[in-house]
Structure 1
Amino acid sequence: MPHSDSPTRITVISASMGAGHDGAATELTRHLTAAGFLVDRHDFLDLLPARIGKLLSGAYLRLLTWAPAGYQRIYAATEHERRPNPAVRALLRGAERRTLATVTPDTRAVVSTYPGASQVLGALRLRGRLAIPALTYLTDFSVHSLWVAPGIDAHLAAHAIPAAQAHEQGAAGVTVTGPMTDPRFTPADEDERRAARTRFGLPPDTPLALLVAGSWGVGPVREAAAEILGTGVALPVVVCGRNHALAERLRADGIAHVHGWVDDMPGLMHACDVLVQNAGGLTSLEALAGGLPVVSYRCIPGHGRTNAAALDEAGLAPWIREPDRLAPTLTELLHGPRGRAQREAGLALFTTAPGPVPAVTTMAHGPLPTARPGRRGAPTAVPSRTPDLSTTALPAESLTAVPAEVLRLPVAGRFVGRSRQARRRTALMVAAVAATLSLGVGAPLAYAYGESPGHHFGALTHYLEDDDR
């Protein structure tokens, strides 16, 4: 609980890129509020200049839908870059003033659940413009380089594997805190299971595989649904999110149980026996909290595949890479000891660590961090104390000062130039930057521009900085 008589204020910054970052921010806000904090919540897309937040979100969706192979190449090329490229840095600089304005004088800490926001907060910390601790809550099980921002005081991870990846990339204050989900995601008993099946109109005794593809319903969902049905092991129950066209196509394909956006996901998970996912995001954690075994299949490129690899390495969800492994793996999870082991491992993820709130509390009430050179060569804010690290696999110098129990986890607008040609060039550039940033990566934009990207970087920098004065 906060230590002072008046509530302590925390700022949480997310981004409406799908539902994963916002979902994590919603749970963080709820937990912090329950702990007695006042919480201000902001969408990073609203803080970007020239009202290009919607462009970011739309570009991301279109790239995943129309050019998944291109997304994979961009992600792989930038996964271990030490810093975002000049165009992305220019775009992020344009958000600094608005981001700083979200922090009121009585705020004691800022928490980001989106890598772009973390980059901005880290830059503000390094330059001394943000005087309070800035933390990143890693929402993915794998860590792209853009998640690791010099200047951030603490990087909070749900598991030792993303924590180790963040540490390897030079993150400061890496701490294993465990995940957070809505408390409604709990294991169901037999009565709850039957009631949920009746409520959703599902057969009472057939094994059911819940197939999810995020709030946008992206990826080869139709192929996965047909292949699950073809195994004869389980009946697919497909959630398409807001992709109404996908839902209609699945029904035309003969898939009997198709849902759009589902408000009662805890109930639907109670009705099902296994979760098949393709992105490794918040829904996977919700299923683990609910005692469902999880499998990754036909994953979307980029973070979908790296998250699948990390979940597989953690022993929390096997990654099926070949269709001929689908039937035997589903059988093992539904009827064999592998399924029981994964249920236990998933539930242990939530019972052996309290989540990120204690870490945020410690940073909000502790002494202001001092600075020392970070491993990336820039000053990095670090805490002044180090906890007992006997229960973590990470080096002592990489972890922030939090209670020891936290660590107990098992191993376009106004363009430069007035000519139509100049406007087209700048629009292309902004769209490409939007695509790369919305992916959570700082891709080499020369791929998109061909020759001489430097001219465009300069134009974008002038455009963004001029807009934000």
Structure 2
Amino acid sequence: MERPAGPRPGTKGRGAVGGWAEPSAAPAGRITVISGSVGAGHDGASAELSRRLRELGYAVDCHDFLDLVGRRTGRALRRAYAMELSVAPRTWGWLLTNLEKRDRMAAAVGRSAARVASARAIQALDGPVPPRVVVSTYPLASQVLGRLRRTGALAAPVVTFLTDLSVPALWIADGVDLHLALHEVAAAQVRHRCDGRIQVCAPAVRGAFRPAVDGGTEVARTRARYGLPPTGRLALLVGGSWGVGELAEAAADVASTGLATPVTVCGHNRALRARLSRAGIGVPLGWVDEMPALIRASDVVVQNAGGLTSLEAMAADVPVITYRCLPGHGTTNARALDEAGLARWVHGPARLAEALAGVLDGEPGRRQRAAGVELFAAPSPIDSIVALADRVAPAVIPRTRTDRTRVGALR
């Protein structure tokens, strides 16, 4: 998988707790973006939103929520999440399912995150120029920011940018001023959970993810660079930057259809790559630095989580199917993408060949591509963020205080 472009949240001077990004050099004002470095999806959206805002003259500082809970705790949470998805993914599905069914449990998780991270969040938002807007691309960050808004500790309005089409309970926090949803399917889920402002916007995907335009020359070069078959259909299998899920089984299933050669992006999962190499199943790849070109060189993307790579494929006009999806968010995203007509959810090996044939050459593929074009025709999320920032006069936003009295009141 490809690392998100732009500065990584949490880096010194651009995202360290208490740091800020050249506020005096940005006449448009300062905007803070808080992400969460679990996988690449949340950071990818954060990096692209930040890039576009900087182009408009805003000073943007990016923070990693896992730093706000403490670096040691954050690293432990990241490792635990990766381990759960890799070793016991059904337990992750069980947890999310129970959070959805039990609003009190979800609220308790949100309150716990807010108590732990509130003080560090206030420190991160402090600076010589207060933020005009704070944007969250991570559920627990939204919980913290919503709490700060409700208690009056944060004067700047808060925007939650929903990175997926499914919206778990943890994404929704009282106190958030605006939720940006990628589709009406996602917006409907937000309305079911809260009465706040909701707007539908286009995904935050880098411009490098675009359709092929050179008559196949770039595709041929990319296939040669990665040792892929020069002719024939390619199915690009992805499982996030950690290469999680039943990717080996999915690759074998794709190969057995005879319709496409599976190309599996294993990311950091070296064991998966070795397993596929030993079995001689398709072409296994490790970490890929040129995902836009690799997607354009493929004929279909087979994914299991419904995250950023799915949206990047749609931006590149490459059809997507969901197969052997991860429990929890993988299943809920699969359902939402299927409902939106953006990616067919294939429920088992017996239906895989028919689904592949449909998206490769049939009407289902044409309908999915049209739905993808419509998805990206929605207004840019930047329009909503900037409109909110422009309504906030810098003079009326007090600097965020970090004194012990105020921090203690949030606990």
| TM value normalised by structure 2 | 0.86
In the alignment, is residue 21 of structure 1 matched against residue 62 of structure 2? Answer: no
Greater RCO, 1 or 2 (C-alpha within 8 Å, sep 6+): 1
Contact 1:149 1:171 in 2 (8 A): no
Q: Could you say which residue in structure 2 is the equivalent of 1:348?
A: 374
Moved over 4 A (4+): none
Q: Distance in 1 between matches of 2:380 and 2:387?
A: 13
Q: Distance in 2 between matches of 1:49 and 1:200?
A: 39
Q: Distance in 2 between matches of 1:204 and 1:337?
A: 26
In the alignment, is residue 38 of structure 1 matched against residue 59 of structure 2? Answer: yes
Q: Could you say which residue in structure 2 is the equivalent of 1:116?
A: 140
Q: Distance in 1 between matches of 2:70 and 2:299?
A: 45
Give runs of aligned pairs for residues 298-309 of structure 1, distance below 5 A. 298-309=324-335
2:178 pairs, out of 148, 154, 162, with 154
In the alignment, is residue 175 of structure 1 matched against residue 196 of structure 2? Answer: no
Q: Distance in 2 between matches of 1:154 and 1:88?
A: 18
Q: Distance in 2 between matches of 1:22 and 1:120?
A: 18
Q: Could you say which residue in structure 1 is the equivalent of 2:74?
A: 53
RMSD between aligned residues: 1.9
Please state how far the C-alpha of 1:357 moved relative to its aligned partner. Answer: 0.4
Q: Could you say which residue in structure 1 is the equivalent of 2:33?
A: 12
Q: Distance in 1 between matches of 2:113 and 2:360?
A: 47
CA change 1:91–1:157 in 2 (3 A) is closer
Contact 2:26 2:58 in 1 (8 A): no
Q: Could you say which residue in structure 2 is the equivalent of 1:215?
A: 241
Q: How many correspondences in the alignment?
A: 368
Q: Could you say which residue in structure 2 is the equivalent of 1:331?
A: 357
Please state how far the C-alpha of 1:44 moved relative to its aligned partner. Answer: 0.5
SS of structure 2 residue aligned to 1:10: strand
In the alignment, is residue 248 of structure 1 matched against residue 270 of structure 2? Answer: no
Please state how far the C-alpha of 1:256 moved relative to its aligned partner. Answer: 3.7
Q: Distance in 1 between matches of 2:87 and 2:272?
A: 14
Q: Could you say which residue in structure 2 is the equivalent of 1:315?
A: 341
CA deviations on 1:301-359 (whole Å, 9 max, x unpaired) are 00000000000000000000011110011011111122122122212211x22321010
1:176 alignment partner AA = V
Q: Distance in 2 between matches of 1:268 and 1:339?
A: 19
Q: Could you say which residue in structure 2 is the equivalent of 1:164?
A: 188
CA deviations on 1:244-278 (whole Å, 9 max, x unpaired) are 11111111111241111111000101111000000
Give runs of aligned pairs for residues 121-132 of structure 1, distance below 5 A. 121-132=145-156
SS of structure 2 residue aligned to 1:284: helix
Q: Distance in 1 between matches of 2:379 and 2:200?
A: 10
Q: Could you say which residue in structure 1 is the equivalent of 2:18?
A: none
Contact 2:113 2:144 in 1 (8 A): no
SS of structure 2 residue aligned to 1:142: coil
CA deviations on 1:38-87 (whole Å, 9 max, x unpaired) are 10000000000473001111111111222222222211111254353546
| TM value normalised by structure 1 | 0.75
1:356 alignment partner AA = P
Contact 1:148 1:171 in 2 (8 A): no
Q: Could you say which residue in structure 2 is the equivalent of 1:451?
A: none
SS of structure 2 residue aligned to 1:13: strand
Q: Distance in 2 between matches of 1:5 and 1:320?
A: 48
Q: Distance in 2 between matches of 1:166 and 1:217?
A: 29
Unmatched runs of 5 consecutive residues or more in structure 1: 369-464
1:357 pairs, out of 379, 382, 400, with 382
Q: Distance in 2 between matches of 1:42 and 1:50?
A: 12
Contact 1:80 1:145 in 2 (8 A): no
Q: Distance in 2 between matches of 1:72 and 1:45?
A: 21
Q: Could you say which residue in structure 2 is the equivalent of 1:102?
A: 124
Contact 2:48 2:206 in 1 (8 A): yes
Q: Distance in 2 between matches of 1:120 and 1:348?
A: 33
2:174 alignment partner AA = P
% same residue: 50
Q: Distance in 2 between matches of 1:302 and 1:87?
A: 16
Give runs of aligned pairs for residues 272-421 of structure 1, distance below 5 A. 272-350=298-376, 352-367=377-392
Q: Distance in 2 between matches of 1:88 and 1:36?
A: 34
CA change 1:88–1:7 in 2 (3 A) is closer
Larger CA deviation: 305-314 vs 184-193: 184-193
Unmatched runs of 5 consecutive residues or more in structure 2: 1-24, 394-406
